[in-house]
Structure 1
């Protein structure tokens, strides 16, 4: 219950902060930025801002690699919140994190979509996509301009904070995913949890696959041991 209260409070507090305490929204500039992004006119955008926008997508995919399995066992599916996250970022995902119950198991069979999310190839693709995104910002980005826009533009301000929240909240779902994969390793948990972005990426690259029907298998193994 305390976890749910904290997550709902964070969701409501972030919305209130963006609406009432963040810098003003420059609608025309924001629409121009989005137009340049979606029309691939990337040379007109500060590489730092473009990279942060791309990182929101990367982080949403990282969460998807965990939460589509989690949603199979919840009373509410994950996919509507994944769609909401495409448009609203962390604000679209936070309600799912608040609604969900702790879940350390997976039942049923994996379709091709879940098999891809479960594969190490999925994690490798995300990692190899993230490196040039970060390199582009670090090498070519105008950090002074970014800082000025962070302080003066609501969209840039909120998007940057959303990336931070994505990284901050990943440990809230990591433990259950590790348990579904029979990974009882506190050192691994903290190694992933305390390294923003790169920790989750490394985890997706290296984690073992989830076994299909592992609830039934676990119960059968328990009965055999007790018989």
Structure 2
């Protein structure tokens, strides 16, 4: 419960900051967003372009956990995932503090779940992130970035959003449940990874074992065996 309260408070504070303290109706916001969306990165500081791109990597990291979890919840995960691609933690956090703890997965893995479950998906995300960081390090202007952070609300928001994505990952029980769902007994090494911003969760996706799919027929057989044993 304390985790849910913490996540809820983070959400309230960030929404308040976004709406009242850093309004996005400034004249410089729309041209900047248009350049980012149309990949006119040559006209931008690479650090800002990379930061914006990483805000697309983070929802994919969470999707690799959420879509298995959402199958077992009272509500689906995909609306929150889609929203998080545009608003970051503003749409992601409600899913995380409204969900119930669940460490099981029942049913067949469809095409999407099979892709999200593959270690190669984690490797692809990790390599893409490394390439983005190299681009930012080689071509980025940190002095210009800090200046824009102080004067441009949109740059402030995506920067804070990125930091909150890093903070929330080890806070949410979604991570614990994903490990339990995969039968990970020794969770200490994975917890150590989760505490490393961005690259820790990416390495977790590269190293975690695939989730075993349990069909409804198997569940029914197990239940019948359990009832038979109880009668005996």
**2:83 corresponds to:** 84
Give unpaired runs (5+ residues) of structure 1. Answer: none
Which structure 2 residues correspond to residues 1-227 of structure 1 after superposition, within 5 A?
Answer: 1-22=1-22, 25=24, 27-171=26-170, 172=172, 173-213=174-214, 216=218, 220=222, 223=226
Question: What SS is found at the alignment partner of 2:76?
Answer: coil
Q: TM-score, with normalisation over the residues of structure 1? A: 0.91
Instruction: Determine the C-alpha separation between the residues in 2 that align with 1:59 and 1:214.
Output: 30
- Farther-moved stretch of structure 1 (35-44 vs 138-147): 35-44
Once the two structures are TM-superposed, the CA of residue 89 in structure 1 deviates from its matched residue by 1.0
Distance across 2 between alignment mates of 1:40 and 1:200:
27
Q: Residue 24 of structure 2 contacts residue 153 of structure 2 at CA under 8 Å; is this kept in 1? A: yes
Number of equivalent positions: 226
Name structure 2 gaps, 5 residues minimum.
none
Q: Mean Cα displacement is larger for which, 42-51 or 149-158?
A: 149-158
Quick one: distance in 1 between partners of 2:193 and 2:72? 24
- Are the counterparts in 2 of residues 175 and 189 from structure 1 also a CA contact under 8 Å? no
Asked if 1 retains the 8 angstrom alpha-carbon contact of 2:11 and 2:93, the reply is yes
Q: What is the CA-CA distance between 1:214 and the residue it aligns to? A: 7.3
Farther off after superposition, 32-41 or 67-76: 32-41
In 2, the alpha carbon distance for the partners of 1:148 and 1:110 equals: 47
2-structure distance, mates of 1:225, 1:121: 42
Which ranges of 4 or more aligned residues in structure 1 deviate by more than 6 Å? Answer: 224-227
Deviation, structure 1 residue 31: 1.0
What is the alpha-carbon distance in structure 2 between the residues aligned to residue 169 and residue 189 of structure 1?
16
TM-score normalised by structure 2 residue count: 0.90
